[in-house]
Amino acid sequence: MNNLAIKKEEYTATKNACKLCTPLGASLVFKGIRGAVPLLHGSQGCSTYIRRYLISHYKEPIDIACSNFAEETAIFGGGANLKIALENIRRQYDPELVGIATTCLSETIGDDVPMFIREYKDMCEGQELPPIVHISTPSYQGTHMQGFHGAVRALVEGVAEKREQDGRINLFPGMVSPADLRHLKEIMKDFGIPFTMLPDYSDTLDGPLWTEYQRIPPGGTPVEEIRAAGSALGSIEFGSVLAMEKESAGRSLFKKFAVPCHSMGLPIGVDETDRFFNTLSSVSGKPIPAKYQEERGRLLDSYVDGHKYVIEARAVVYGEEDLVASLVQFLKEIGVIPVLCASGGRSGHLQKIIAEMIPDDEQKNIRILENADFTDIESMAEELKADLIIGHSKGYTMSRRLNIPLIRIGFPVHDRVGGARIHHIGYRGTQELFDRIANTLIEARQNASSAGYTYM
Amino acid sequence: MTAIPILKERESQIYQKGTQPFQMKCGKHSLAGSVSQRACVFCGSRVVLYPIADALHLIHGPIGCAAYTWDIRGALSSGPELHRLSFSTDLQEKDVIFGGEKKLYHALSELIDIHQPKAAFIYSTCIVGIIGDDVEAVCKKVSKEKGIDVLPVHSEGFKGTKKDGYKAACDALFKLVGQGSTEGISPYSINILGEFNIGGEAWIIKDYYRRMGVEVVSTMTGDGRVDDVRRSHGAVLNVVQCSGAMTFLAEMMKEKYGIPYIRVSYFGLEDMSKALYDVAAHFSDKPEIMEKTKEIVREEISHIYPELQKIKAAVQGKKAAIYVGGAFKAFSLIKALRYLGMDVVLAGSQTGNDTDYETLRDMCDDGTVIVDDANPLELSKYIIEKKADLFIGGVKERPIAYKMGIGFCDHNHERKTPLAGYSGMLNFAKEVYLTVSSPVWKFAPARQLSVNSDQLLTDFNPRPNTEHRTLNT
Ligand code: SF4
Ligand code: SF4
C-alpha cells in the first residue's frame, strides 16, 4: 500500500492548487449562522478575494468584513483595528453573531485575538453584545477544510450550553451544498426530530430575489439552536477524515456535555446513506419514513438498469478529503474504479481510509495522492487513461486538454450556473450523481460511435 | 423598506450632486469593519503584470493569494499561456518560522527549468514582509544561475492600496525596459500601456494603429511579451489607457528616455476616436496618418451605427449605476451610456483621486451620487433609491444588482467579452440591451411595479451576431 501514495517533494512549488485557504472555510460556516457577519482579521485582499471566489460559485451577495490592516497595524498589532471593525459591524449590520477568523498576516505577527475580544467586551460594558466567536485560521497550517471544521467547533465551544435535554439531534454536515443542506432538513422534518444543523447556508447562499435589500440574507442556524446543541440526544458528524482527527465539534460536545457523537462518511451511495438513516432512527427511536424507503428502492433499481454502462469505468476523483473518501465508497458500490483519488489536503488519513474501503486497491492499481495540485493530478490522469473526471470546476482545464469528460460536483463550480443546487447526498442526491455518471459515459460512447445510435 | 445605515466615517466619501457642497475625501485606507470592494497591493500588481504570457509568475506566500487569482482574468494570449497557470510557494508553518527563502529558491529554479520563461516575476505577499525573507537576494541568485531576469515585485498586501501595487509592478517592468535593441523601429511608433487584452481588446486596438500606419512596439501588458517590453524604449510615444495603473511607468520612461505620453481611453465612440486622433496628431509631420485615421473612424462608426441606433431606441431613458476600479473607466462609461441615451444615477470607483472626483462631479447631472471605496450596503442603498435599471461593475457587485432585480454588465478584468474599440462599443451596447430588456425582470419582486417589459420588446434582436471580432495580428 505504501508505494501507492506519492509524496511530493519538500521544496517544489504548488502549481494550480487543489485547495483553498483556511479562512474561506471559516467564512462559509459563519455565512450559515442566522444574522452572522464573518470578519477576517488581516488585510483587505484576503477577504475580497475570498468573497469573489465564493460569489462566483454561489452567485449571492456575500459580505465578509475585514479589519483592514495598514502598514502600521502590522507593526503595532491589530487590536485597535479589530475593535473598530467590531464596532462598525455592529453599527452597520446589527448582527446576531460575529465570527472572527484570522489570516496569515495577523497570525504571523502574533495577534492575541482572544485578548482583543475580551478588551472589546470590557469596553462595551453594559451594552448587549452579540456572541463573538473566534477561530485561528493561519493558512500555512491547513486548507479551507480545517477552517470549515474548526469554525463549526469554535461555534459549539463558544455558544453551546447544557440545558434540559429536548430530544434534538445535532447535525454537522461538513462542507456540502445548499441543496444538500435543504435535503437534510427535509429528512429531519420527515422524521419529526428536532435538530440543530450547523452550519446551514441553504438559504443564505441560495436564496430568492428580494423585495428590499437584506443587510444579512435571511436564513441560517439560529444562535439559540447552537446554544441548545449542548443538550442534544446525540450528534451526527459527517466526514470520514474528520472522524480521524483529534478534535471536532461532535467530539467536543461529547467531552463537555456528554452528548454522544456518531461519526460517519458523507451519506453518498446506498451503504453510507443506510448508515445515516439507521443512525437517525436508532438515536431518535423513530422509524425511517416510507418516502425514503421508496427513494432507496428507486436508486437500487437505477443501479441495476445502469450497471453495465458504468462498470469498470476509470475515474479520477479530487477535492476535499472527506468528499473524495465518500465518493470512492459510492463509486466502489457501482463498480467504477477510482484510479486516482487526489486531494490538496494533507491530513495523512486519506490513504488509510481508502485502503480500508478497497482492500485490493493495490491490485487495482489505485493511486492516492495527498497534498496534490492540478499538475500532479493532470499528469497522472493522463497516464492512468481515465474515462471520467469527477470534481469541482478547476479540473476543467485538464478535462479539456485530456479530452476526458468532467462531472462537476462540490465547490467551486465557477463555470456553470447552479453550483449551489448540485445535490450529492442521501438516496436522492446519490441518484442524481449516478444518473449523471451513467449518462456521461453513455454520451461519450454515443459520440464516439460512428453509427450515432439513438437507442443505447 | 429597511433603512440601510451609512457609517459616519464614510459620509465624507459619498457625495450627491446638487445637494451639498463638494468636499469629497478619497485615497483613504478602507475603514476597518466595512466591507470594502477593494483588493490589496498584490492585486494591483497582478492586474498589471498578469497578461505577460511568456513570463513566469510565482507568488511567494501561503496558498490563498495564488489560488484565488488562478486564471482569473480574460487576458488572452496569441502564443504562450504561462500567465494562466498559478504558481505558489505555498508556505507552510515551518517556512513561516524558519523563513521561506530556501523554498522560494528551489521552487523558482524548478519552475524555470520546466517552463523556460523569458523572465520571472516574484510577488511577495503579506507575510513575506513580516518573516523577513530576502526575496531580492534569492532573485539575484537565481537570475545569475539561470541567465534570465528574475524580478521581485514588492506587493505585500497591507503595505498600501491597489495603487501601490500598480506602482510595484511598473517598477518591475521598468527594469526590463531598455534591455533590448531598438533597431528597425519606425519613427511612427508607440507603446500601448494599460491595455490588458481582455477578450482580445488589445488586438482590436492594435489593428486600428496598424491601419493608421503606426507601429506598436509593445503592448503593456495585454498579450505581452518580455522581449517587446525590453525594446519598448524605442517607441516615440507612450499611449496610456485610462486605468491610471501605468502612468507610473510612462512617467519613468519619460524621465529616462524622454518618451512623451498621452492618456487615452478605448471605451465608447467618443473616447475611442479621440485616442486615435490624438495619436495621429502626435505624428503631424506625416499627414497621411491623420487622413487614414479619419477614414478608419468613419468606416468603423458607419459599420456599427445602425445597430447602435436600434439599441439606443430600446434603452433610452434607462438609469445606470457605475462602480468600477478606476475613475477613468467611469468617465468613459458615463459618455458611452449617454450616447445610448441613458442616465447615470450613481458613479463610483475604488481608487479615484481628488481630481478624478472633481471631473466626475462636473460630468454628472444633479442628483447623481458619487462614491469612493463603497461597500455593498452603500451600493445597494443608492441603486434602490435611485431606481437604477442597470449596474455596471465587477463580479462582487453582480449579485447585489440581481437580488434587487436590476440588470448587470461586467466591466471588470474578469469578463471575457471585448468592450474596447468600436466593435467593443457594440458589444457593450448589446450587453446593456440584453440585460436591461430581459423579460425575467417582470418576476423580480423589487421591480414588479416599475418595469413594463413589453415596452422593451422591439423587433430588434442582437443575438445572432453577438460573436465578437477578435483580430489577431
Ligand atoms: S494570506 Fe493567508 S489568509 Fe490571506 S489569502 Fe493568502 S493564504 Fe489566505
Ligand atoms: S495575503 Fe496580503 S497579498 Fe495576499 S491576498 Fe491577502 S492582502 Fe493580498
Instruction: Please tell me the number of Cα atoms within 13 Å of A229 on its side-chain side.
Output: 35
Mean pLDDT for B458-463 is 44
Please, which pLDDT band fits residue B8 given cuts at 50, 70 and 90? confident
**Residues contacting A275, CB < 8 A, separation 6+:** A264, A265, A267
Residue-wise pLDDT tens digits, B327-344: 888 888 999 999 999 999
* Residue stretches of chain A with pLDDT short of 70: 1-10
The Cα A364–Cα A332 span in angstroms is: 12
Rounded to the nearest angstrom, the gap between the alpha carbon of residue B225 and the centroid of all alpha carbons in its chain is: 19
Overall size of chain A counted in residues: 456
* CATH pick for A22-157 out of 3.40.1180.10, 2.60.40.10, 3.40.190.10, 3.40.50.1980: 3.40.50.1980
Residues forming a β-bridge with B218: B191
ipTM: 0.93
Compute and round to an integer the Cα radius of gyration of chain B: 23
* CATH pick for B189-300 out of 3.40.50.1980, 3.40.50.300, 3.40.630.10, 2.40.50.140: 3.40.50.1980
In A249-396, which ranges are E strands? Answer: 261-264, 314-318, 337-342, 367-369, 388-391
Are B460 and B431 spatial neighbours (Cβ–Cβ below 8 Å)?
A: no
Which CATH code fits A306-445?
3.40.50.1980
Residue B126 in contact with ligand 2 by CB distance below 6 A: yes
Closest approach of A288 to chain B, Cα-based (Å): 38
Q: Between these two residues, A419 and B470, which has the higher pLDDT value? A: A419
Instruction: Please state which of the ranges B92-96, B113-117, B170-174 shows the lowest mean pLDDT.
Output: B92-96
Q: Between these two residues, B160 and A437, which has the higher pLDDT value? A: A437
Please count the residue pairs, one from chain A and one from chain B, whose beta carbons lie less than 8 angstroms apart: 242
Among candidate residues A143, A203, A57, the one with its CA nearest the CA of residue A324: A143
Rounded to the nearest angstrom, the gap between the alpha carbon of residue A59 and the centroid of all alpha carbons in its chain is: 17
Q: What is the pLDDT of residue A10?
A: 66
Residue A47 in contact with ligand 1 by CB distance below 6 A: no
- Closest ligand relative to B42 C-alpha: 2
Helical (H) or strand (E) element with A65: strand A65-66
Q: In a mutagenesis test of the B interface, which of A93, A98, A132, A140 is the best target, namely the one with the most B β-carbons within 10 Å?
A: A140
- Nearest chain A residue to B394 by CA distance is A52
Domain ranges of chain A: 22-157, 169-284, 306-445
Q: Tell me how far apart the terminal alpha carbons of chain B are, to the nearest angstrom.
A: 54
- Closest ligand relative to B44 C-alpha: 2
The Cα B52–Cα B57 span in angstroms is: 9
Q: What is the pLDDT of residue B467?
A: 41
- For the cut 70, the answer to whether the pLDDT of residue B271 exceeds it is yes
Mean pLDDT for B116-145 is 95
Residue-wise pLDDT tens digits, B96-124: 999 999 999 999 999 999 999 999 999 99
Among candidate residues B420, B466, B470, the one with its CA nearest the CA of residue B203: B470
- For the cut 80, the answer to whether the pLDDT of residue B7 exceeds it is no
- Using omega within 30 degrees of 0 as the cis cutoff, is the peptide bond preceding B376 cis? no
Are B213 and B288 spatial neighbours (Cβ–Cβ below 8 Å)?
A: yes
Q: Which of A50, A51, A103 to mutate to test the pocket of ligand 1 (most atoms within 8 A of CB)?
A: A103
Residue-wise pLDDT tens digits, A156-175: 999 999 988 889 999 999 99
Residue A43 in contact with ligand 2 by CB distance below 6 A: yes
SS (H, E, C) B367-394: CCEEEECCCHHHHHHHHHHCCCCEEEEC
Q: Between these two residues, B24 and B235, which has the higher pLDDT value? A: B235
Q: What is the pLDDT of residue B90?
A: 94
- For the cut 50, the answer to whether the pLDDT of residue B461 exceeds it is no
Among candidate residues A69, A94, A291, the one with its CA nearest the CA of residue B29: A69
Residues forming a β-bridge with A169: A195, A234
The amino acid that residue B190 corresponds to is: I
- For the cut 60, the answer to whether the pLDDT of residue B260 exceeds it is yes
Expressed in angstroms and rounded, the spacing between residue A42 Cα and the centre of ligand 2 is 9
Residue-wise pLDDT tens digits, B32-72: 887 777 789 999 999 999 999 999 999 999 999 999 999 98
> Is CATH 3.40.50.1980 what the domain over B41-174 is classified as, yes or no?
yes
Overall size of chain B counted in residues: 473
Taking CB atoms and an 8 Å limit, are A60 and B380 in contact across chains? no
Taking CB atoms and an 8 Å limit, are B39 and A45 in contact across chains? yes
Taking CB atoms and an 8 Å limit, are A108 and B130 in contact across chains? yes
Torsion over CA: B104, B110, B113, B118 (sign): negative
Domain ranges of chain B: 6-34+316-469, 41-174, 189-300
Taking CB atoms and an 8 Å limit, are B87 and A59 in contact across chains? no
Q: Tell me how far apart the terminal alpha carbons of chain A are, to the nearest angstrom.
A: 39
Residue A103 in contact with ligand 1 by CB distance below 6 A: yes
Which CATH code fits A169-284?
3.40.50.1980
- For the cut 70, the answer to whether the pLDDT of residue B460 exceeds it is no
Q: Which CATH superfamily is domain B6-34+316-469 in?
A: Nitrogenase molybdenum iron protein domain (3.40.50.1980)
Rounded to the nearest angstrom, the gap between the alpha carbon of residue A83 and the centroid of all alpha carbons in its chain is: 30
- For the cut 90, the answer to whether the pLDDT of residue B391 exceeds it is yes
- Rounded to the nearest 5 degrees, what angle is found at the Cα of A252, between the Cα atoms of A247 and A258? 140
DSSP string spanning A225-258? HHHHGGG-SEEEEE-TTGGGSS--HHHHHHHHH-
Q: Between these two residues, B216 and B160, which has the higher pLDDT value? A: B216
Average pLDDT of every residue of chain B: 89
